[in-house]
């Protein structure tokens, strides 16, 4: 390999006064834009960059695997409305981070994946460089935008483009490719400073057209059985007061999607969470706020939506989202804060209350369902079932509404979503649009780092395994994270048997595994809990102490069902021999 000679980085005091280099410029550009937390894994060519960033006051959190650092960055973007930064090495590190970048894009979370890359001249001729890969080309189809910076003088503009692409319009993931050589490039310090860009108004307000607002209000006024659906876009928008005013002034029942829970409390008198099937079936006008009519809402049609003809009003920043599955009678395109404020203004003070027969029917259904569930949540069985264990955790979140709940698994996810009420916005973080297993520890770490609040991560034993090694990261940074592993010995259940040979069945794990020992291995607290009472005591202790804790919650291996609540999506062969 004929290495191109690069000038060494500025070293002497005299040089640093006049000169700067790629390392410093990237760090300065990030800081100038208020991006002061990086989630990543060090290695060639970004090891020194991480050290220097840390020395310059940037918080650099080193993970054990880039995918988890990526999920941390993605959820940091959701929580803060600033792009979360994930930093990786080339080829394999980049690819490990890429799943999270695609996940961020799918979920409309702003994130920037910054990866070091190998020598362009060698990569492009495919001559076999160390970790050779055309990362820019590979990233492109999986994110909102992808850029490469080749000259130190372009670092400022490159980062500005990345920030703007991640935040403006529908937020998403952006890839920024920084070749190894760039870091060592030297330029005049003053010219370097001038080349940096502080992005002005990165997510400009998008005001809805007055006609669109009027049309939406006309449709809403015609409703006999209106419903508001709040999605995670509404949570992301941080327009909490306006959304609450819209819901309360209109008196319309609201249904929160998973990560929108808590935008208004789940115990709010208008919350229709516990009457979900009824409101989807029987409503006649549905206003979507930051929620897509994708699989999670059965595409807005079919059995779930019943026979009552529906009219949809949709508030979204992305115009192309309209009519993606069914006709949208009143599209309102703009940012949620501006759209909801415009609707509120249009409603004025004399807006008629939602019809009482409808709100009364929704309330009655909700109370019936809540009452039906209540006794199941109070059982103290050992081994535990989902309801007994979740009953305990539900009380903990009620008593600690500021805590952040991270949740993944199948039964562990679906049942926790229904059972654990949320009281404040952006406190529930989960698997998102794709239903990804593995977001757990990355999300928990970012939640603790970004908010300083205690975190409770409720994890299926399979789900936990995808990011379990990060318990070391949690201990290393001494984060207030309490992980509860719902240990039912497997994926969905721990009871499958392979009748064809001596290998275990494909969905089961080692029986009686002790996940709590993993946390103990790194100096955290491990607890084995066999009853809801034990579980509750252990979680309360963890939340009080703030010490990294992992509770192995022993669940009945037969308690879950295949694929949790989405068994209908799970194809099964009619020809399979039982």
- Could you list the residues that contact Mg ion (CB under 5 A)? 460-461, 488
Coil, strand or helix at 529: strand
Which of residues 414 and 461 has its CB atom nearest to Mg ion in the complex?
461
Q: Which of 554, 562, 435 is nearest to 492 (CA)?
A: 562
Which of residues 318 and 520 has its CB atom nearest to ligand ADP in the complex?
318
Among 488, 531, 549, 552, binds ligand TZD (CB under 6 A): 488
- Closest approach of Cβ 483 to ligand TZD, in Å? 13
Q: Which of residues 415-444 bind ligand ADP (CB under 6 A)?
A: 433
110 binds, among ligand ADP, ligand TZD, Mg ion, none (CB under 5 to 8 A by kind): none
Which of residues 330 and 458 has its CB atom nearest to ligand TZD in the complex?
458
Tell me phi and psi for residue 289, to 5 degrees: -120, 105
Q: How far is CA 57 from CA 38, 60, 89, 296, in A?
A: 11, 9, 21, 41
107 binds, among Mg ion, ligand ADP, ligand TZD, none (CB under 5 to 8 A by kind): ligand ADP
DSSP state of 546: -
438 binds ligand TZD (CB under 6 A): yes
383 binds ligand TZD (CB under 6 A): no
- Closest approach of Cβ 446 to ligand ADP, in Å? 18
564 binds, among ligand TZD, Mg ion, ligand ADP, none (CB under 5 to 8 A by kind): ligand TZD
- Closest approach of Cβ 95 to ligand TZD, in Å? 14
- Closest approach of Cβ 33 to ligand TZD, in Å? 32
Chain centroid to CA 285: 29
Joined tokens for residue 389 = 């264990």
Which of residues 171 and 460 has its CB atom nearest to ligand TZD in the complex?
460
Cα(213)–Cα(520) distance, integer angstroms: 56
Q: Where are the beta strands (DSSP E) in 59-124?
A: 59-62, 84-88, 111-117
Which residue's structure tokens are 């692409």? 165
292 binds ligand ADP (CB under 6 A): yes
Chain centroid to CA 275: 25
Stretch that binds ligand TZD, among 282-290, 354-362, 367-375, 406-414 (CB under 6 A): 406-414
Among 21, 316, 385, 421, binds ligand ADP (CB under 6 A): 316
30 binds ligand TZD (CB under 6 A): no
212 binds ligand ADP (CB under 6 A): no
- Closest approach of Cβ 231 to ligand ADP, in Å? 3
- Cα dihedral 444→445→446→450 (10° resolution): 110
170 binds ligand ADP (CB under 6 A): yes
Among 88, 115, 278, 462, binds ligand TZD (CB under 6 A): 462
SS3 per residue for 231-269: CHHHHHCCCHHHHHHHHHHHCCCEEECHHHCCCCCCCCC
Q: By CB under 6 A, how many residues form the interface with ligand ADP?
A: 24
Coil, strand or helix at 380: coil
CB-CB contact of 172 with 152 (8 Å): no
- Closest approach of Cβ 204 to ligand TZD, in Å? 35
Cα(414)–Cα(21) distance, integer angstroms: 50
Point out which residues pair with 62 in neighbouring strands.
40
CB-CB contact of 88 with 46 (8 Å): yes
Other Cβ atoms less than 10 A from the Cβ of 73: the count is 33
- Closest approach of Cβ 11 to ligand ADP, in Å? 46
Among 45, 116, 290, 480, binds ligand ADP (CB under 6 A): 290
Cα(37)–Cα(34) distance, integer angstroms: 9
- Closest approach of Cβ 495 to Mg ion, in Å? 11
Q: Which residues bind ligand ADP (CB under 6 A)?
A: 107-108, 170-171, 231-233, 236-237, 257, 259-260, 290-292, 294, 296, 316-318, 321, 335-336, 433
């Amino acid at each position: 390999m004929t290495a191109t000679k690069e000038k060494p980085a500025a070293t002497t005091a005299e040089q640093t006064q006049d000169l700067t280099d790629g390392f410093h410029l990237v760090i300065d550009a990030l800081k100038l834009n208020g991006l002061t937390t990086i989630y990543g894994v060090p290695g060639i060519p970004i090891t020194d960059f991480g050290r220097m960033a840390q020395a310059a006051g940037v918080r650099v959190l080193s993970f054990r695997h880039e995918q988890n650092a990526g999920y941390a960055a993605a959820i940091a973007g959701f929580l803060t409305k600033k792009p979360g930064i994930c930093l990786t090495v080339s080829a394999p590190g980049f690819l490990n981070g890429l799943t999270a970048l695609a996940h961020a894009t799918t979920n409309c979370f702003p994130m920037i994946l910054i990866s070091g890359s190998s020598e362009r001249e060698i990569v492009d001729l495919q001559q076999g460089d160390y970790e050779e890969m055309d990362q820019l080309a590979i990233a492109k189809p999986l994110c909102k935008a992808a850029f490469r910076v080749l000259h130190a003088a372009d670092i400022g503009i490159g980062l500005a483009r990345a920030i703007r692409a991640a935040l403006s319009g529908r937020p998403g993931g952006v890839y920024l490719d920084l070749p190894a050589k760039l870091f060592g490039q030297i330029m005049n310090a003053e010219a370097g400073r001038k080349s940096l860009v502080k992005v002005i108004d990165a997510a400009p307000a998008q005001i809805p057209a007055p006609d669109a607002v009027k049309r939406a209000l006309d449709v809403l006024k015609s409703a006999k059985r209106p419903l508001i659906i709040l999605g995670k876009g509404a949570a992301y928008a941080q327009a909490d007061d306006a959304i609450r005013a819209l819901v309360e002034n209109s008196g319309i029942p609201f249904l929160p999607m998973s990560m929108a829970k808590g935008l208004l409390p789940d115990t709010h008198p208008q919350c229709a969470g516990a009457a979900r099937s009824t409101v989807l079936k029987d409503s006649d006008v549905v206003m979507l706020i930051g929620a897509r009519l994708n699989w999670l809402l059965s595409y807005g049609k079919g059995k779930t939506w019943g026979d009552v003809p529906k009219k949809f009003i949709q508030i979204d920043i992305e115009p192309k989202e309209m009519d993606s599955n069914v006709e949208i009678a009143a599209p309102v395109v703009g940012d949620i804060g501006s759209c909801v404020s415009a609707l509120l203004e249009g409603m004025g003070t004399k807006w008629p209350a939602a019809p009482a027969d409808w709100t009364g029917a929704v309330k009655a259904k909700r109370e019936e369902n809540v009452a039906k569930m209540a006794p199941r949540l109070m059982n103290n069985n050992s081994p535990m079932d989902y309801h007994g264990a979740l009953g305990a955790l539900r009380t903990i979140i009620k008593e600690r509404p500021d805590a952040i709940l991270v949740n993944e698994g199948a039964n562990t996810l679906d049942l926790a979503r229904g059972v654990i009420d949320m009281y404040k916005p952006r406190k529930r973080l989960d698997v998102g649009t794709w239903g990804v297993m593995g977001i757990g520890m990355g999300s928990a770490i970012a939640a603790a780092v970004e908010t300083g609040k205690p975190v409770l991560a409720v994890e299926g034993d399979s789900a936990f395994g995808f990011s379990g090694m990060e318990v070391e990261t949690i201990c290393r940074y001494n984060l207030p994270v309490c992980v509860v592993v719902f240990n039912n010995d497997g994926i969905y259940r721990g009871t499958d048997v392979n009748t064809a040979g001596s290998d275990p069945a494909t969905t089961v794990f080692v029986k009686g595994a002790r996940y709590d020992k993993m946390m103990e291995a790194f100096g955290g607290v491990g607890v084995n809990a066999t009853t809801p009472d034990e579980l509750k005591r252990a979680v309360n202790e963890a939340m009080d102490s703030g010490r990294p804790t992992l509770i192995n919650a022993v669940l009945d291996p037969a308690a879950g069902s295949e694929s949790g609540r989405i068994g209908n999506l799970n194809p099964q062969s009619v020809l399979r021999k039982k």
